[in-house]
């Protein structure tokens, strides 16, 4: 029998990393994730053209291509907003 663990939180690491962005950036990220796809594509191209923004572009691209990753990211953003 597998013991039940109440303290397991699969998104804790994701939330802690997102929290380093600060509330304004988190709000902008959440907005970007709900933009129509053509607008996100334009933003991704722009981010890739600027050094240092590749990690953000990668995060948005992953959220665009993987439904589970997108839902986990949106849930983590929502949970941070509720804290």
What does the alpha-carbon distance between residue 83 and residue 75 come to, in Å, rounded to a whole number? 12
Q: Model-level pTM?
A: 0.75
pLDDT in tens, 11-49: 899 999 999 988 888 999 999 999 998 999 999 999 989
Q: pLDDT tens digits, residue range 40-55?
A: 999 999 998 998 998 8
Residue-range domain boundaries for the chain = 12-82
Q: In 3D, which of 80, 66, 65 has the Cα closest to residue 16?
A: 80
């Amino acid at each position: 029998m597998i013991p039940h663990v109440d303290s397991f939180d699969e998104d804790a690491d994701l939330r802690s990393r997102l929290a380093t962005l600060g509330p304004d950036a988190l709000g902008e990220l959440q907005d970007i994730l709900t933009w129509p796809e053509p607008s996100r594509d334009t933003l991704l191209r722009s981010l890739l053209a600027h050094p240092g923004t590749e990690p953000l572009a990668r995060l948005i691209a992953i959220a665009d291509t993987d439904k589970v990753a997108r839902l986990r990211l949106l849930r983590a953003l929502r949970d941070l907003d509720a804290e």
